Amino acid sequence: MLQKKRIVFFEDSENNSDLPQYLNKYTENLRCNSTSQKSVLEAIKNNENLEMPHFYNKSTFLHIMCGFNDFEMVELLISKGADVNALTLFNYTPLHYACISNNYEMVKLLVNNNADLNILNNTMRTPIFYVSIFNSSRTRNNNLSEIQELNNKLKIFKLLISKDVELNYLDREQNNILSILIYSFKLNVQQTHKNKNIFEEILKLILNNNFLRLNSINAHKIYALRFCVEFEDIELLNMLIKYGGDVNKNIDNYGDTLLCSACKLINNVDIVKLIIKHGGNIYEKNKLGMYPISLACKYGNYETIEYLSELIEGLKYDPFKESLEKKLPTKKEKKIIKEISKFEKECELFFMERLQKILDSGDYLLLDVPLEKITLKNIKNPEGDNLILMVVKNKCNLKNSTMIRIIILLLFYEVELLKVDNLGKNSLMYFIEKGNTEMINFINSYQLR
């Protein structure tokens, strides 16, 4: 008796890829003719043209059976001469549908019968793009477990890569297979140790086979490393950096670097430290004139603020001291300072002589170099806000306790408590407007110290 099977995937001209996902093979809602096994067998018996379109998007019998994940019928159709590279209205091949079905044996059968691995469909995706997509448990084909789905994908990747599939295509939205793989896995698959191990094996398989798109940014201004930050996966981020991931790309319309994104998306100081360790620039502003620490203040990420403050000021924060102390040098330190000062003067004379010779020769290039040292107290955004005002105007509805903790830290580094912005308002005025009694009392008590 013929069994009913669920259709896996047919994409329409509007890219509605889950249409019609749950329809039965024999229901009236499925807009196709002669799609049952019986109809295919009758067509073969009557010597009908197997390439004749039988579906609303001009799919052939082979497309349809690949979409139904019906290996036996696919094998039969190929043995009868069905075209393994036939195109639907939207340029899908049977291999596209076999990859969507995540059926290793079916993919292997098509590949061994000369299926083209690199045909682009209307979304500019080759079949391997669909191997990169993990279905959620709701849509997983034939109720495969996650481990089975992952193992199938690993085998398909190994097969296609062994046949020299092209890995560097970008789809219509400039996505590459690695970015799709990471986003889909993190979103739809349980992050168990076994699942992660197989996923990492797939990643390394791609990265070790002339993959050149690790740092390519899609139409939404996101790239693979950004997904690692969003999902707070420090191990994956570290791995991609070792493979050449660029931490200093400007990745969105605001000119944010990866460090900027880390400072505002998450409160994970270990990821911030990793990015800085590999060259993340703490002094690079985005297009809105915001430093990474400015964004950390705006989004109330205390641990990140503390870490960046210590890097910028060169002094570790001490919560038991209210502000920086100008410690008087000892006699020994005074002697050392005197010797250093003498040496600096000698160096200055030498370099001034060298500089004058260069200027006289006319053989030089002038560069604009900022001379002002960046300190927390002189960091401002274009609205005239200092770091404390950025905390006060935060977009995250921070708890009062968090704001107080951050403000005390910033006061230690001599950031002005009542700095006035371009609107003529200070932090106290903003809290009065909000009716935040606790913060009003906190600021007033600090003024009295």
Residues 407, 314: contact at Cβ < 8 Å?
no
Establish if 449 belongs to a structural domain.
Answer: yes
Establish if 357 belongs to a structural domain.
Answer: no
Establish if 193 belongs to a structural domain.
Answer: no
96-147, pLDDT tens digit by residue?
A: 999 999 999 999 999 999 999 999 999 999 999 999 998 755 445 556 788 9
CA 381 to CA 253: how far, in whole Å?
Answer: 17
Establish if 120 belongs to a structural domain.
Answer: no
Lookup: tokens for 370 = 């900022």
Residues 393-399, mean pLDDT to the nearest whole number? 83
Name the residue range of residue 429's domain: 289-324+374-449
User: In angstroms, what CA-CA distances link 428 with 293, 393, 443?
Assistant: 22, 11, 7
**For the CA atoms of 31, 35, 36, 37, what is the dihedral angle to 10 degrees?**
-170
Please tell me the predicted confidence (pLDDT) of residue 279. Answer: 92
Please tell me the predicted confidence (pLDDT) of residue 103. Answer: 93
Total domains in the chain come to: 1
Q: Which residues pair with 24 in a beta bridge?
A: 6
User: What DSSP assignment string belongs to 61-127?
Assistant: HHHHHHHTT-HHHHHHHHHTT--TT---TT---HHHHHHHHT-HHHHHHHHHTT--TT---TTS--H
261-301, pLDDT tens digit by residue?
A: 999 877 899 999 999 999 999 999 998 899 999 999 999 99
Whether 336 shows a pLDDT value over 60: the answer reads yes
Q: Give the list of residues 6+ apart from residue 400 with CB closer than 8 angstroms, or none.
A: 436, 438, 439, 442
252-269, pLDDT tens digit by residue?
A: 778 889 999 999 877 899
Establish if 393 belongs to a structural domain.
Answer: yes
Establish if 303 belongs to a structural domain.
Answer: yes
Lookup: tokens for 429 = 């005025």
Establish if 6 belongs to a structural domain.
Answer: no
pLDDT-derived band of residue 70, with 50, 70 and 90 as boundaries?
confident
Lookup: tokens for 192 = 């168990």
pLDDT-derived band of residue 317, with 50, 70 and 90 as boundaries?
confident
Establish if 416 belongs to a structural domain.
Answer: yes
Q: What is the CATH number of the domain that holds 439?
A: 1.25.40.20
